[in-house]
C-alpha cells in the first residue's frame, strides 16, 4: 500500500495511508525567526478540515519549538476535530500545565509519552498500522539541552518510516534504537548531510530512501539550507541512497 506524503511547512507533514491521515508538527503559524510557517490559506484549510486535510485521524508532536507547535492553535484544533489519537511529549505536563493540558488531560485519545532516553513505547493505531516512539536529544545540545525531542517509527502495513523530528546526529543512539530494523524512509534534517556524523548515520542505517525536510521556503532561507542540501546531495551522491528533497509548501510524493 502506498504512503502519500505532503509537506505543509518546515517539518510539518501529512501522511496518508489508505483512509488514515496523520499530521505531524503542523499546527503552528506566524513567522519563526529562521524557518517557514504554513501559509494562511493552508492553515485555513487545516483549521476547517478542508481538502486535503479533511478527516485527519491522528496528530503527533515531536517537541515544543515554535517552528513545530503553537499551543493555542494546537489546543483549538484538537478540541474542534474528532481525532482517534493525539501524541504529545511528556514535557507537556510541566511546560503547559494550565493553559494546555487542563482541557484535554484524561481524554482517552490523548497520550502523554513518558519514555526515558534509550527506551521505546509502542502503540497500535489501527489494523496493520502502529508506531514506536523514543526520546532523543535535540540537535545543538549546547543551545537546546532542556528540549526533549521524540522520534516516531511508523509501521504502515509492509513499510517502515522514521520521522525523527530534531533528533541529534548521534550514531550510537540511532543504531541502538533501530537495531534490526530496515527503513523504507528516513526523514532527515539538513544537518544529516552537512555533518560527518549525520552522513555516517545514513550510511549505517541504509534506508531505501532519505527525505530531506525542515528546510525554509525560498523566500525565508536566510541560513542557506536549500543550498546546503542541494550541494550535499551532489557531493555525497555516491554514499547516499535515493533522495527526495521536501522544501516547498504542499509538495508531495508517494512511498
User: Which pLDDT score, from 0 to 100, does residue 121 have?
Assistant: 86
DSSP conformational letter for 27:
B
List of domains in the chain:
3-254 (3.60.15.10)
The pLDDT of residue 113 is: 84
pLDDT digits (tens, 9 = 90+) for 56-72: 999 999 988 888 888 88
Using CA of residue 210, residue 214, residue 147, residue 71, what is the dihedral sign? negative
Give residue 135's pLDDT.
Answer: 87
243: number of Cβ within 10 Å = 17
- State the SS3 of 156-214: ECCEEEEECCCECCCHHHHHHHCCCCCCCEEEECCHHHHCHHHHHHHHHHCCCEEEECC
Which segments of the chain have a pLDDT < 70? 31-33, 92-107, 115, 140-146
pLDDT digits (tens, 9 = 90+) for 102-133: 666 656 788 888 767 777 888 999 888 999 99
Amino acid at each position: 500500500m502506498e504512503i502519500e506524503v505532503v509537506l505543509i511547512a518546515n517539518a510539518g507533514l501529512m501522511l496518508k495511508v489508505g483512509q488514515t491521515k496523520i499530521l505531524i508538527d503542523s499546527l503552528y503559524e506566524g513567522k519563526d525567526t529562521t524557518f517557514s510557517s504554513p501559509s494562511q490559506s493552508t492553515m485555513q484549510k487545516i483549521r476547517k478540515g478542508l481538502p486535503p486535510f479533511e478527516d485527519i485521524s491522528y496528530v503527533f508532536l515531536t517537541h515544543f519549538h515554535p517552528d513545530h507547535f503553537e499551543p493555542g492553535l494546537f489546543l483549538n484544533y484538537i478540541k474542534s476535530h474528532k481525532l482517534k489519537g493525539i501524541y504529545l511529549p511528556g514535557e507537556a505536563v510541566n511546560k503547559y500545565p494550565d493553559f494546555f493540558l487542563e482541557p484535554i488531560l484524561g481524554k482517552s485519545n490523548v497520550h502523554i509519552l513518558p519514555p526515558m532516553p534509550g527506551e521505546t513505547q509502542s502503540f497500535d493505531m489501527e489494523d496493520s498500522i502502529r508506531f514506536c516512539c523514543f526520546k532523543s536529544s535535540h540537535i545543538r545540545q549546547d543551545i537546546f539541552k532542556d528540549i526533549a525531542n521524540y522520534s516516531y517509527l511508523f509501521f504502515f502495513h509492509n513499510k517502515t518510516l522514521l520521522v525523527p523530528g530534531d533528533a541529534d546526529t548521534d550514531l550510537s543512539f540511532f543504531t541502538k534504537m533501530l537495531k534490526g530494523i530496515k527503513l523504507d524512509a528516513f526523514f532527515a534534517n539538513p544537518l544529516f548531510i552537512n555533518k560527518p556524523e549525520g552522513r555516517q548515520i545514513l550510511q549505517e542505517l541504509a534506508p531505501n530512501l532519505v527525505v530531506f525536510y525542515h528546510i525554509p521556503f525560498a523566500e525565508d532561507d536566510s541560513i542557506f539550507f536549500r543550498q546546503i542540501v542541494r550541494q550535499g546531495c551532489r557531493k555525497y551522491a555516491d554514499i547516499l541512497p535515493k533522495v527526495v528533497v521536501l522544501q516547498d509548501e504542499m509538495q508531495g510524493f508517494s512511498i
